[in-house]
Amino acid sequence: MIDSARLAAELKALALAPFRIDGHDARDALQALAEAALPGVIRPSEQHALLGVPCRVLAVAHDRLLLRAAIRPELLAPAWQSAVAAFPQGQHILRFTAHALRPADEDNARPHPADGVRATGARLCCDYPADVWRVHRRSLFRVAPPEAPPLRLHAHAPRGAGPWLGVVIDLGIGGLAFEVVMNHVPCDVDAILAACHLADGTYSSPPFDLRVRSVHPGAIPGHWRIGAALLNPPRAVISSLQLATYRFEIAQRRRR
């Protein structure tokens, strides 16, 4: 039987496959990160989304990348040996795996123009990434679940107004949009929806809290579209929603 970590890795590879860039395109994209000194985040793995620390690419060589990250070098092994880096780049996010992350050697430890006057963190290097992905931000963070069976949000309404049963419109690791049917405005912006969970018959998430970000009338009278962000989610919730997002992305691409 396949374990959850391996399943998550395989689903990630399938979901990101259309966004993979190779050769000169990948090298140019990495070089642009270094030249513009764009800030990003690096974390031990996809399962450690809350452990991300600031990171920058300083230089790109044929066999390695030189980085600066807020990581103590003595803590690198073994937790950071397959670290995941993500850098906003215009309307996209550039992602790669920083294999064999380690302190920079003597040659790489010399002052580098990209360090800047206020450089902080350790000088590190990693193997040149075998895979680089350039993902549109919307494609990465939100995906529409299949219409059948519907993915339903079970939530406690604000002010003790009873339970809600909404239909999820789109979902990502940062939040979701869903629709409820009511004859009045369901809630205010910034309302807290506590102890929510998602279920579609085969998938059920751990409980999580949401903060309402938008409330709009739907196309049908009595239907309301609500956008909400995750509120201080634990790692188990992020991992669960990430796995569901990848699964829905794969199903979406198969329908095309």
182-240 tens-digit pLDDT:
888 898 888 999 899 999 988 899 999 998 988 999 888 999 999 998 888 887 887 78
Residue 114: pLDDT over 90 = no
CB count, 10 Å around CB of 149? 12
Residue type at 82 in one-letter notation:
S
Average pLDDT rounded to a whole number, residues 44-52: 58
Between CA 39 and CA 227 the distance in angstroms is 28
Q: How confident is the model at residue 139 (pLDDT cuts 50, 70, 90)?
A: very low
Return the beta strands (E) in 79-236 as ranges.
82-89, 92-99, 102-103, 122-127, 132-136, 152-156, 163-171, 175-181, 192-199, 208-217, 223-230
Q: What percentage of the chain reaches a pLDDT higher than 70?
A: 77
Geometric angle at alpha carbon 255, from 252 and 256, rounded to 5°: 95
Is the pTM value of this prediction over 0.85? Answer: no
Q: How confident is the model at residue 2 (pLDDT cuts 50, 70, 90)?
A: very low
Residue 119: pLDDT over 80 = no
Residue 26: pLDDT over 90 = yes
Omega within 30 of 0 (cis) for the link into 206: no
Which residue did the predictor score with more confidence, 124 or 77?
Answer: 124
